[in-house]
């Protein structure tokens, strides 16, 4: 029988349609091949992109070809860094200028290697670039939140096949993040515990949805997964801020992230996916709320969400806010756990 499951963090219901029982082979997505005569993210085409903001390279000048990871402004940004917010009312509506930052992290100079194909050392360099850009953008008091995400595959929104991720800084806290932050704050105020730590302890004890456990990280399928083969990667020890991790911890995270990506690639034949890094927002003071971020170091827990794009949102989902997942998280965890990563 199908089950309705409640997600206490995202505050929504999910229908786990176990009677449909879809297996990995039912989700094979045909890969689109793109013909590109010249990729702007490849070696030698540095002049085809805006000047770099940050790079990891063994030697050489900025914007030269000798790089491992390169961060550039998005050529067609959703938000621009220049200007003032100018918040204002418009009748019953609110409006402000499109101020923010939109950056692209080019993960490798090799056009034919995805993030999961890189070595742990190379993935560590990508994570170091993430950390560096988070720390820099937080210095701008206009920015309330940073969203680090990766689109892999055309269906997931990737316009270029060369491995890259994106970082967008926005001048307000997005509703999804605001809900999660509020839930964490309220839970801690009531119980003086981190809701994520409780969740991780429960899942480790249960084991049903554990895909892989490392010394300091764990990969899980969420209990109320909205989509088939949805995954979470958590630090096992409490940590609210990804950007505070040192290089050795980034190195272990790189091993866990590679493992997660390779298991997904093996089981689902390299599906399109999105992943999002959720971490603490910049702790800029809030007018009239001096203690607004007072407990965040104790109540929040950074994590990575990964969603394979295997199903579509249709009328029922839009009309109700419920999601229908045809593969139980327990079955997905089993398939992924048994894969050779």
Tens of pLDDT along 149-176?
Answer: 999 988 888 888 999 999 999 999 999 9
DSSP 3-state assignment of 6?
strand
Q: Could you give the percent of the chain with pLDDT greater than 70?
A: 95
Q: Are 329 and 230 in contact (CB under 8 A)?
A: yes
Tens of pLDDT along 178-208?
Answer: 999 999 999 999 999 999 999 999 999 999 9
Token digits for 39? 């990729």
Q: Are 164 and 104 in contact (CB under 8 A)?
A: yes
- pLDDT confidence of 46, banded at 50, 70, 90? very high
Overall average pLDDT of the 331-338 stretch: 95
Active site residues: 164
Tens of pLDDT along 19-34?
Answer: 655 677 666 666 655 5
| Ordered domains of the chain (ranges, CATH) | 3-23+39-337 (3.30.428.10)
Q: Which residues contact 218 (CB under 8 A, 6 or more apart)?
A: 200, 203, 204, 210, 212, 233, 234, 236
What's the sign of the alpha-carbon dihedral 5, 10, 12, 16?
negative
Name the residue among 160, 168, 165 with its Cα closest to residue 40: 160
Q: Are 337 and 268 in contact (CB under 8 A)?
A: no
Predicted pLDDT at 26? 67
């Amino acid at each position: 029988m199908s089950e309705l499951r409640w997600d206490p963090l995202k505050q929504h219901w999910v229908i786990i349609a176990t009677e449909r029982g879809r297996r990995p082979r039912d989700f094979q997505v045909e890969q689109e091949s793109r013909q590109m005569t010249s990729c702007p993210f490849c070696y030698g085409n540095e002049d085809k992109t805006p000047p770099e903001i940050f790079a990891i390279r063994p030697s050489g000048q900025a914007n030269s070809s000798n790089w491992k990871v390169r961060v550039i402004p998005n050529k067609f940004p959703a938000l621009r860094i220049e200007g003032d917010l100018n918040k204002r009312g418009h009748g019953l509506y609110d409006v402000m200028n499109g101020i923010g930052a939109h950056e692209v992290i080019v993960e490798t100079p090799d056009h034919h290697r995805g993030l999961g194909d890189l070595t742990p050392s190379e993935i560590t360099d990508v994570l170091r670039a993430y950390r560096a850009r988070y720390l820099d953008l937080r210095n701008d008091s206009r920015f309330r939140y940073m969203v680090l995400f990766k689109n892999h595959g055309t269906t997931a929104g990737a316009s270029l096949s060369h491995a890259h991720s994106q970082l967008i800084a926005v001048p307000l806290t997005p509703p999804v993040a605001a809900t999660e932050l509020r839930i964490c704050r309220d839970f801690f105020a009531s119980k003086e515990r981190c809701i994520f730590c409780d969740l991780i302890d429960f899942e480790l004890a249960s084991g049903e949805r554990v895909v892989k456990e490392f010394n300091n990280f764990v990969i899980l399928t969420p209990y109320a997964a909205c989509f088939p083969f949805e995954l979470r990667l958590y630090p096992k020890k409490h940590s609210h801020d990804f950007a505070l991790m040192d290089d050795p911890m980034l190195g272990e995270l790189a091993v866990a992230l590679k493992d997660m990506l390779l298991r997904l690639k093996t089981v689902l034949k390299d599906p399109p996916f999105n992943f999002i890094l959720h971490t603490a927002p910049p702790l800029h003071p809030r007018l009239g709320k001096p203690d607004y971020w007072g407990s965040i170091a104790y109540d929040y827990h950074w994590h990575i969400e990964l969603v394979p794009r295997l199903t579509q949102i249709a009328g029922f989902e839009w009309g109700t806010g419920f999601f229908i997942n045809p593969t139980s998280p327990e079955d997905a965890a089993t398939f992924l756990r048994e894969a050779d990563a």
